[in-house]
Copies of this chain bind each other. A is one copy, B any other.
């Protein structure tokens, strides 16, 4: 007999919850069992507009979702400044926790959240979707292959989009009391995560922010970048921005191979994603062309990456619920490393672009 679906409650109905509730419905091991908002009307309107199953309970407060015995796990798309409070309460109520990124405002808060999850035996995962795309696994295989890629020499990532005037004045990501990390916490999170992927999750030794970050009048970052250095000579740079045309790249150059991807966060289309890779590429004899062109690798998937994330999250929750397993530590550890680098970039900006040593 197959195990029952993992029952997921939504703590908040932010715009991104539309995509995630669809993902939950697509994943084969989970279902939306509750929707909570600050008012019952909002919860009800969200449920009606987003095909939430009729059996799902509607709640007029976040607390009510956390108290709901029909909820195994919660998805929490709240502004970052609210994460600490609500994540701690969720853990206390033994609800497994899928938390929007950035996980926390800083690593101190992060550690409070992860400690609460660990001591309550609940799974923590952040909602970084692209790492669950099968393309990412194929990229990781390439990047860790000593024959095809070799040793990482440099990696460049970027995630930019041109926010409109409404966004730049009203979105939670430009408000110091909501998502105070701005573009760094939103887009930079992905860029740093991609750099860590290319570095096989080794933290850099030093982080230096790029000059000329753009902050709004409230001091929230709208555009920034940084360089990351490893003692073995690897160098990474990234650029994130609300002020530049939509671009999302990873370019990783190893001693033996090169990888390019141009839609790493959100693939151009749902069911298919590509990257280009080359190994020991060279010129022809007269140096008028290349001996071989980089090869395009395409992966196909029945489920979009956000549904694959839900499937992985619900699988881990199921392991705990039905098989008495311990919560997985891999995902929180990767999240924590991302948060450490976010903190370092912010510190470097605040200290006039000083090099910030990374201490794990």
Contacts and interface: CB of A to CB of B under 8 A. Distances in A.
Interface of A: 16, 18-19, 22, 150, 153-154, 156, 158, 160-162, 206, 208, 210-212, 214, 223, 225, 227, 229-230, 233-235, 237, 239, 241, 243-247, 249, 251, 253-258, 260, 262-263, 266-270, 276, 278-283, 286-290, 293-294, 304, 306, 355
Given A154-B225, A154-B239, A288 B304 contact: yes
B268 A289 contact: yes
Contact of A251 (B210, B251, B286): B251
A331 to B, nearest CB: 22
B245 A255 contact: yes
Contact of A229 (B211, B243, B294): B211
Contacts of A243: 153, 255
Contacts of A239: 153-154, 156, 235, 253
Contacts of A249: 251, 260
A245 B251 contact: no
A171 to B, nearest CB: 14
A225 B235 contact: yes
A294 B262 contact: yes
Contacts of A229: 210-212
Contacts of A270: 288-289
